[in-house]
Amino acid sequence: MGLLVLELRSPFFGQGHSVQFLVLIPVSAIFIAASLISWFIIKSIRKSLRILKNATRRVAEGDLDFSLAPGGRDDFASLMRSFDQMRIRLKDEYSRRSRFLMGVSHDLKTPLSSITGYLDALSDGMASNPEQAAKFMAIMREKAAQLEQRISHLIEYVKMETGQWQLPLEETDASSFLKQIVQCYREESEFLSYNFFADIRVPDQTMFLMDRELVTRVFENLMHNAVRYSGEEKKISISAEIASDSSKLSMAIENTGPGIQEQDLPLIFEPFYRGNASRNQKGFGLGLASVRAIIDAHGWTITVSSKPGEKTAFSLTIPLAAATAV
C-alpha cells in the first residue's frame, strides 16, 4: 500500500491557507492494471507476428493464394497491409512470367514444328523431284531464319527487361531527329498509301539523351502498329511539343481504326499478349513490350489511350537535357 498527500487551496480558508488530505491508494491495483494492459499489448503483437510469420512461410513455399485483412490503424496493421500488397505484386509478376513462358513456347514451337514436318517429308521421300525438294529446303531456310530472328528478339528483350543492356546515351537534337523520323514516314506513306500528318513544334537545339538505334526501333514499332491497325481511313499523325514547364518533351502517335478494347489496355505492353484485334496477325508479340522496355531504360514514360471504333494514341514524355531544360 502507499499514501498520497493531496494539498487543496481554496479561498474559503483564507489567503495562504491550505487543507491537506491523506488519500490511501492501492498501488498494487495500479500495478495489476498496468500488467493487464501490457499483457494485452504483448498478446496483440505476438498474434500479429505469428500471422506475418505464417504469411512469410507461405510466400516462401510459393503459395500466394491467400490474403491478409488486418484491422486497426496501428503500425502492425500497416505492415500487414504492405505485406499483402507485396504478395499481390508477386502474384501478378508470376502470372506475367507464366504468360511470358507460354508465349515463348508457342512462338518458338511454331516454326520449329514446320521445319520438323518438312524434314520428315524429305525423309519419307515425299519430294518426288529435285524442284520439290528445293522448295521444301527453301521453306525450311525461311522458317529457320524466322526462328533465329525470334530468338534474337527474345534475347534482346530479356537484356533490356533485366537491365543487362548498358545504354550508351548520347545528347541529341530532338528537333533534327524528329524531322528525320517525319521525313522517313512521309515517304513511306506515299509508298504504302496511308494519310500521314505531322505537327512538330520543337525549337532547334532542344536536346535530350537517347540511344539512337533503340529509339528508332521504338518509332518503327509504334508506326508499324499504327499502319497495321489504321482501318479504312488510314490516318496516322505524329505531334510533338515542349511541355509548359519546359522540362520535357511531349509526343503522340495517333491512328484511326478499330482501337483497343478497354480490357486490353492494361495488358497492351505485356510480352506475347495479343488483343482480340491482333490474334490472327503474324508476329512475335514482343513489339510493344520491347517499346516499353526501351522507354523505361531511357527513363521516359509511355501511355496508351483509345476510343474503340475511332482511334488509338500512344503518348511519350521525354525529359530534356539539363542544357535545354528551363
Across the chain, mean pLDDT equals 79
With both helix axes pointing from N to C terminus, report the angle between 75-123 and 130-161 in degrees, rounded to the nearest 10: 170
C-alpha 219/C-alpha 253 separation (Å) is 9
Superfamily of domain 170-319: Histidine kinase-like ATPase, C-terminal domain (3.30.565.10)
User: What's the sign of the alpha-carbon dihedral 78, 83, 84, 85?
Assistant: positive
C-alpha 178/C-alpha 214 separation (Å) is 14
Residues 240-269: what's their mean pLDDT? 89
Residue 287's nearest CA partner among 158, 157, 94, 148 is: 157
CA neighbours closer than 13 Å in the CB half-sphere of residue 135: 8
**Position 3: which residue type?**
L
* pLDDT at res. 285: 60
C-alpha 161/C-alpha 303 separation (Å) is 18
Comparison of pLDDT for 300 and 109, the residue scoring more: 300
Top mean-pLDDT range of 100-114, 125-139, 246-260: 246-260
CA neighbours closer than 13 Å in the CB half-sphere of residue 89: 6
One-character DSSP codes across 189-243: HHHHT-EEEEEEE--TT-EEEE-HHHHHHHHHHHHHHHHHT-TTTTEEEEEEEE-
Structural domain boundaries in the chain: 2-63, 94-161, 170-319
Please say if the pLDDT value at position 95 is more than 50.
Answer: yes
* pLDDT at res. 101: 67
Rounded to two decimals, what is the model's pTM? 0.60
* pLDDT at res. 321: 83
Residues 150-154: what's their mean pLDDT? 76
Please say if the pLDDT value at position 302 is more than 60.
Answer: yes
Class of the CATH domain delimited by 94-161: mainly alpha
- Lowest-pLDDT choice from 126-130, 152-156, 168-172, 255-259: 152-156
Confidence of residue 106 (pLDDT cuts 50, 70, 90): low
**What are residue 317's phi and psi, to 5 degrees?**
-120, 120
Residues 234-248: what's their mean pLDDT? 90
**What is the share, in percent, of the chain residues with pLDDT greater than 70?**
79
Top mean-pLDDT range of 119-123, 197-201, 215-219: 197-201
Q: Which three cell numbers stand for residue 321?
A: 537535357
Please say if the pLDDT value at position 129 is more than 70.
Answer: yes
* pLDDT at res. 200: 94
Residues 64-85: what's their mean pLDDT? 77
CA dihedral 277, 280, 284, 289 (to 10 degrees): 10
Please say if the pLDDT value at position 161 is more than 80.
Answer: no
Provide Rg for the chain, Cα atoms: 34
Comparison of pLDDT for 67 and 18, the residue scoring more: 67
* pLDDT at res. 312: 93
* pLDDT at res. 1: 47
Where b means 16+ CB within 10 Å and e means fewer, 46-65 reads eebeeebeebeeebeeeebe
Q: What pLDDT, in 10s, does the model give residues 10-59? A: 454 454 444 444 444 566 677 777 778 888 777 777 877 888 888 888 88
C-alpha 302/C-alpha 296 separation (Å) is 8
Cα–Cα distances in Å, from 37 out to 41, 51, 116, 234? 6, 21, 74, 73
Q: What pLDDT, in 10s, does the model give residues 259-281? A: 888 888 888 887 766 655 444 44
For residues 19 and 13, the answer to whether their CB atoms sit within 8 Å is: yes
Cα–Cα distances in Å, from 84 out to 54, 79, 80, 209? 13, 9, 6, 38
* pLDDT at res. 254: 95
C-alpha 198/C-alpha 181 separation (Å) is 10
* pLDDT at res. 27: 62
Percent helix, percent strand, percent coil in the chain, to nearest 5: 55, 20, 30
Please say if the pLDDT value at position 8 is more than 80.
Answer: no
Confidence of residue 289 (pLDDT cuts 50, 70, 90): confident
- Lowest-pLDDT choice from 52-56, 73-77, 118-122: 73-77
Q: What pLDDT, in 10s, does the model give residues 77-89? A: 788 888 888 888 8
Cα–Cα distances in Å, from 255 out to 123, 126, 238? 49, 47, 9
